[in-house]
Chain A
Amino acid sequence: MFRRRLDTDSPASRTDADFAAEIEAHIALEAERLREEGLSEEDALAAARRAFGNTTRVRERFYESRRARWWEDFRRDFRFGFRTLRKSPGFSVVAVLTLALGIGANTAIFSIVNAVLIAPLPFPNAERLVMVRGVDHGRELLGPSPIDALDYGRLTHSFEMLVPYDYWRKNVSGIGGGNEAQEMLVGLVPAEYFEALRIRPVLGRLFRKEENVYGKHYVAVVNTTFWREHYGGRRDVLGRTLRVNGEPYTIVGVVPDAIPRWMDAQLQLNAQIWTPDAPYADFFSEANRGDRDVFVLARMKPGVTLAQAQADLDVVAAQLAARYPVDRGIGVKLEPLGKVRVGPLQPILLILSGAVGLILLIACSNVANLLLVRHSGRRRELAVRAALGGRRGAIVRQLTAESLVLGLLGGGAGVLLAAAGTRILLALRPPQLRQLGEVHLDLRVLIFSAALSILTILVSGLAPAFTASKVNLGEALKEAARGATSGGGSQRMRRWLVVAETGLALMLMVGAGLLLRTIGRLQSQELGYSPDHLMFAQFFVPEARYPDSPAITRFAARFRERVAAIPGVREATITNTVPGTYNRWKQYITVPGRVVRSDDLPRIGFTPTDEHFLSTCGIPLLRGRDFAASDREGGPPVALITQAAVKRFFPGEDPIGRTVHLGEPGDVPPQGSARLSADVTIVGVVGDMRNEGLKEPPSPQLLALYRQLPTVNVGFKDLIVRTARKETSVAPAIADRLRGLDPDIPLSEVAAVREIVLRQTSNTRFTTTLLALFAALGTILALVGVYGVISYAVAQRTHEIGVRVALGARGGEIVWLMLRPGIVLGLAGAVLGILGAAAARRVLSSLLFGISPLDPPTFAAAAGLLMVAVAAACAIPAFRASRVDPAVALRYE
């Protein structure tokens, strides 16, 4: 192959300036020649310039010629496409809007996928970070126990660091020198926690090793937001004190706001203050080996795989189980940080991605459909172009350019729509989906939408373009002359597209329907009481000023009395359980005379409460008696049990008067911060409450008086109030009473009990809302498609209809004539949709409750609704057809 000589300049890399220099040289040479012919200096230069012509124009052409040829063609086609689209605004608006909806919905969902699955984790070498979860006989626990966690760190070899930590709700006052008390989430962490995440303080220091010891732990670090808000970002924050649960802590450092909201998302709050990991004196002692509720973050050594680390931990867990009876059946499961971030969103995102994918397909077929109509309306124009020698490629390219314009406009509008949609979506999000707090449109999302727009154009534009370019010249010109505009091929293709659209829409409707039924099932679950007119709040009685059980009891009783005296309050109880929600407090129970296996010790849900629980919540007493004021502190402990407990522990017996032992039986030493070992006498049987959450049947539950069981009379208390008016209307008065008793104890978590119970369904409701929205969107798009096909058919057959009417056809016959093909399309779509929904049933099944993913009533209802909608969409053009005036119709052409 021929190559240029090396000493020549390359034409491609030539600069503008070089070209300008050549022109100047040319003019100089020409002027010199003219001078030699006898012209004056001035005239020669003028004549040379004249002979050259317009230099600017030549230079412009040089500039343009270096651009790629395709760009020229593309620009021309693009401009042409833009012009032709402007000439039919109706078509353009519908097509752009359809594309915008499809692309917008997909962009919005992708921005979530991006935030929780694709975007890099915000820590260096984050792929080596894992959470260590506790497992009991394969069931996930709240966490490992603190001392087990220390042993995991000590005995394994796979980890650079393995850090137990915790978050506690604490009363914080003295913030920024103020007096207001506030319940806040306080992190209890050693310095290694930040080091594992590679977070360095921006000011001051992290905790020293010796500060992780109880008694020397009165130091705190705060995050940057807290520092800016309350200390104006001044350096003198170091050395200031905060009162946490009544005790002073010195601020020693400021850390950046680097811990994302999805870390420990179950906490529902962002921590802004951290103190060393020393909640109480013997937290890391042997006595706490069974108290499994700490968080553990670990950083794997470089080169260690997740499987190796897991195997390493499994070995250690087995060793611990062999040594400590309380660790029998206890294991750990590693969860990479990436999985922590997705959390409960995984199945939801799968469903929503599927839904928006279907919407995009519907939008594509709709636009393809519109383009087919448009192209077939232009067959004559295209045929003329082909007759004049237009190549097929050029025609396809021009038609594609037109859809490209549509796609770009649709994509742009879609991104705007997604920006607005994401905001709405975030407003709808349940607070526990904290992952969604990180969602925003970034470059990756924009690239995705651009790619999606191009894909959409190719899918919806190319096939119609090819169909249109395949014109049979003679036929097309003849047909066009008669005014008929639709070839058989494209008409068939359009019908198929509409069938596909309605089928996809039906899939969305079935999905939304199944989720709606699931919510219905969940919300109609028998709670065992009515949550209406019940208000919930939380408070914490700190040990510093209320050091023992009598002090806590006294405080709680005085507070309760004052609350009950507020006008509008009917009854109040201080307790630890919200009936109808998952109750995580379980206690070992031993029923005398009942043999148990030592690796499967019976446990029972536990509610330490006062004597007003049943009357406040309205839980029925079935047998025996309720607690009474006469069940005094220091007296023999009494208890109430639920029906489920009777079934499990006293089948066919009368439990009243029987005594059970609460606390670790036999060879298991007493465990945990609330070490319970007491015999309680059952005095009554009460109705079941949903203590395992809405999805599970009630399990056994035992209620006892905290004043009679000092070791479980902890400072964390719940207040439930029965009100006469709207639940939370009495909250300010209650907070006022609490302040009056102790200004350092804040009232927190105020909510209606109904809301708290409903929170369990909020993920499902969120998903359902979105899916219903998408189903509506998809259905509307599909109906637009149906309507388009039918009204087009009517327009085409106006002449025929006119003839029929002239020959005596009645209006009803005409309506049916036009309605029938629409209903056939709808039926075919319904069949397709039912098959599709059945094939996709696995996608939804994880979110469904109490209903089969093939639930026939839901399928039937969705299909019925779709058919009605399709019929309605066809009816409009069909009725228009019936009103055709034969005189006009026959003159129509």
Chain B
Amino acid sequence: MVTRRGDERRAIRRSGEGLGKEPRDRLELLQGTLDVLILRTLIFGPQHGQGIARAIQTTSDEELLVEHGALYPALQRLEERRWISAKWGVSANNRKARFYGLTAAGRKQLVKETSKWRRLVSAIGRVLGPEET
């Protein structure tokens, strides 16, 4: 697991380079965040891998960059844990793609993870104190 998470971080850095953003601008994803982001993205309905990658990038105002390749091991992992399920379908512009959807267990997991994240973020925020700008 350690190696996988390392790859994830590396993936995000490299995708930043790839799309022309300066490396120092990147936001490093904390361990396990990709999973919760994927789950969150799927709450609006089934989506294929490229769509998920796009959605994460646009909804985070391009702050979070995902190397598209790194998405798939994460999808695979979520699928094995039965949090998402997949089937082949046809995209809006009539291309074949594999669509991922949230399962009931995935929905529960998302709720759990989200509240955990919010608690973590606010705790860290309290420790760091009010923003100094």
Of B54, B69, B104, B105, the contact of A54 (CB 8 Å cutoff): B69
On whether the beta carbons of B54 and A33 are closer than 8 Å, the reply is yes
Binary A-proximity of B55-96 (CB < 8 A = 1, otherwise 0): 000000000000111101100110110100111100101011
B97 close to A (CB within 8 Å)? yes
Contact with B along A22-47 (1 / 0, CB 8 A): 11011011101100000000000000
Given A2-B105, A26-B49, A29-B48, A51 contacting B77 (CB threshold 8 A): no
Q: Report whether A62 and B69 are in contact in the complex, using a CB–CB cutoff of 8 Å.
A: no
* Residues of B contacting A12 in the complex (Cβ-Cβ under 8 angstroms): 80
User: A8 near B86 (CB under 8 angstroms)?
Assistant: yes
Distance (whole angstroms) from the CB of B36 to the closest CB of chain A: 19
CB distance from A4 to the nearest CB of B (A): 5
> Which A residues are in CB contact (< 8 Å) with B7?
61
Q: Determine how close the nearest CB of chain A comes to the CB of B84; give it in whole angstroms.
A: 9
Q: Which A residue's beta carbon lies closest to that of B76?
A: A65
**Residue in chain B with minimal CB distance to A55:** B69
Does residue B40 face the partner (Cβ distance < 8 Å to A)? no
Check A65 against B73 for contact (C-beta < 8 Å). yes
Name B69's contact: one of A8, A9, A33, A53 (CB within 8 Å).
A53
Known: A8-B86, A11-B79, A65-B76. A29 touches B91 (CB 8 A): yes
Q: Is B41 an interface residue (CB 8 A)?
A: no
User: Is B67 within 8 A of A26, CB to CB?
Assistant: no
Beta-carbon contact of B68 and A26 below 8 Å: yes
* Binary flags per residue of A757-777, CB closer than 8 Å to B gives 1, else 0: 000000000000000000000
A26 to B95, CA, bound (A): 10
- Judged by a CB distance under 8 angstroms, whether B14 is at the interface is yes
Q: Whole-angstrom distance from the CB of B48 to the nearest CB of chain A? A: 7
Q: How far is the CA of A25 from the CA of B97 in the complex (A)?
A: 6
* Extra contacts besides A11-B80, A30-B68 (15): CB < 8 Å: A11-B76, A11-B86, A25-B96, A26-B50, A26-B68, A29-B50, A29-B51, A29-B91, A30-B50, A52-B67, A53-B67, A53-B68, A55-B69, A58-B70, A58-B73
Beta-carbon contact of A2 and B103 below 8 Å: yes
Give the residues in chain A near B85, CB-CB below 8 Å: 4-5, 8
Nearest CB of chain A from residue B9's CB, rounded to whole Å: 13
Q: Which residues of B contact A65 (CB under 8 A)?
A: 73, 76-77, 80
The number of A-B residue pairs with CB atoms under 8 Å apart is: 88
Among candidates A9, A29, A51, A57, residue contacting B95 with C-beta atoms closer than 8 Å: A29
Q: A11-B80, A26-B49, A53-B14 are in contact. Are A32 and B86 (CB under 8 A)?
A: no
- Contact: A57 with B82, CB < 8 Å? no
Q: Mark B99-116, 1 if CB is under 8 A from A, else 0.
A: 000011100000000000
Once bound together, how far apart are the Cα atoms of A54 and B68, in whole Å? Answer: 10
Q: How far is the CA of A283 from the CA of B11 in the complex (A)?
A: 95
Q: Please measure, in the bound complex, the distance between the C-alpha atom of A7 and the C-alpha atom of B98, giving whole angstroms.
A: 13
In the complex, whether A50 has a CB less than 8 A from a CB of chain B is: yes
Closest Cβ of chain B to A309, distance in Å, is: 61
A4: which B residues are within 8 A, CB to CB? 82, 85, 103
Q: Interface residues, chain A, CB within 8 Å of chain B?
A: 2, 4-5, 7-9, 11-12, 19, 21-23, 25-26, 28-30, 32-33, 50-55, 57-58, 61-62, 65
Asked if A51 and B73 sit within 8 Å, CB to CB, the answer is no
B1-40 CB mask vs A (1 if < 8 Å, else 0) is: 0000001000100110011000000000000000000000
Please classify the interface of chain A as helix (H, G, I), strand (E, B), loop, or mixed, using the class held by over half of its residues: helix
The answer to whether A25 touches B95, judged by C-beta atoms less than 8 angstroms apart, is: yes
With both chains docked as a complex, state the minimum distance between the C-beta of B123 and any C-beta of chain A, in angstroms.
23
Q: In the complex, which residue of chain A has the Cβ closest to the Cβ of B67?
A: A53
Q: Chain B contacts of A19 at CB under 8 A? A: 72
CB-CB < 8 A to B103: which residues of A? 2, 4-5
A contact residues around B15 at 8 Å (CB): 51, 53
Residues of B at under 8 Å CB distance from A?
7, 11, 14-15, 18-19, 48-51, 53-54, 67-70, 72-73, 76-77, 79-80, 82, 85-88, 91, 93, 95-98, 103-105
B73: contacting residue among A22, A29, A61, CB under 8 A: A61
A124 to B93, CA, bound (A): 69
Residue of B nearest to A57 (CB): B69
Chain A residue with Cβ nearest B49: A26
> A19: nearest residue on chain B (CB-CB)?
B72
Min CB distance, A515 to chain B, in Å? 61
CB distance from A13 to the nearest CB of B (A): 12
A439 to chain B, nearest CB (A): 50
Q: Is the CB of B93 within 8 A of A32?
A: yes
Chain A residues closer than 8 Å to B54, beta-carbon distance? 33
Q: Is B95 a contact of A52 with CB atoms below 8 Å?
A: no
A-B contact pairs, 8 of them (CB 8 A): A2-B103, A4-B103, A12-B80, A26-B50, A30-B50, A51-B19, A52-B69, A62-B76
Per the bound structure, the CA–CA distance linking A26 and B70 in Å amounts to: 12
List, in ascending order, chain A residues with CB within 8 A of B18's CB. Answer: 50-51
CA distance A21 to B96 in the complex (A): 9
Cβ-closest 8 pairs across A and B: A53-B69, A29-B50, A8-B85, A11-B79, A52-B68, A58-B69, A22-B98, A26-B50
For B96, the chain A residues whose CB sits under 8 A away are 21, 25
Contact A51 B67 (CB under 8 A): yes
CB of B20 to closest CB in A, whole Å: 10
Closest CB of chain B to A589's CB: distance in Å? Answer: 91
Q: Is the CB of A32 within 8 A of B68?
A: no
- Kindly report which residue of chain B lies nearest to residue A8, judged by CB atoms: B85
Contact partner of B68 (CB less than 8 A), chosen from A2, A5, A11, A51, is A51
- Whether the Cβ atoms of B95 and A28 lie closer than 8 Å is yes
Contact A7 B87 (CB under 8 A): yes
Residues of A within 8 A of B87 (CB): 7-9
B51 / chain A contacts, CB cutoff of 8 Å: 29
State whether B72 touches A62 (Cβ < 8 A). yes
B14, B51, B85: residue with the most chain A Cβ atoms closer than 10 Å: B85
B residues in contact with A23, CB < 8 Å: 69, 72
Question: Could you tell me the distance between the alpha carbons of A8 and B86 in the complex, rounded to whole angstroms?
Answer: 6
B80 CB, nearest partner CB in chain A, Å:
5
Contact in complex: B69, A2 (CB < 8 Å): no
Given contacts A4-B82, A53-B69, A26 and B48 within 8 Å (CB-CB): yes
Asked if B80 and A58 make an inter-chain contact with CB atoms under 8 angstroms apart, the answer reads: no
- Within 8 Å CB of A30, what residues of B? 50, 53, 68
Cβ–Cβ < 8 Å partners of A22 in chain B: 49, 72, 97-98
Of chain A, the residue at the smallest CB distance from B97 is A25
Nearest Cβ on chain B to A36's Cβ, whole angstroms: 9
CB <8 Å contact, A9 and B73? no
A21 to B73, CA, bound (A): 15
Contacts of B93 in A (CB 8 A): 29, 32
- Is B98 in contact with A25, judged by CB distance below 8 angstroms? yes
Contacts of A50 in B (CB 8 A): 18
Q: How far is B48's CA from A573's CA once the two chains are assembled, in angstroms?
A: 103
Query: Who on chain B is nearest to A65 by CB?
Result: B76
On whether the beta carbons of B95 and A32 are closer than 8 Å, the reply is yes
| Given contact pairs A26-B48, A52-B67, A53-B15, A2 touches B82 in the complex (Cβ within 8 A) | yes
Q: Would you give the shortest CB distance from B110 to chain A, in whole angstroms?
A: 14
- Contact present for B73 and A62 (CB under 8 Å): yes
In the bound complex, how far is the Cα of B49 from the Cα of A33, in angstroms? 14
CA distance A26 to B68 in the complex (A): 9
Residues of A within 8 A of B73 (CB): 58, 61-62, 65
By a CB distance below 8 angstroms, the chain B residues around A54 are 69
Contacts of B104 in A (CB 8 A): 2
* A8→B51 CA distance, assembly (Å): 19
Shortest Cβ distance from residue A483 to the other chain B in the assembled complex, whole angstroms: 34
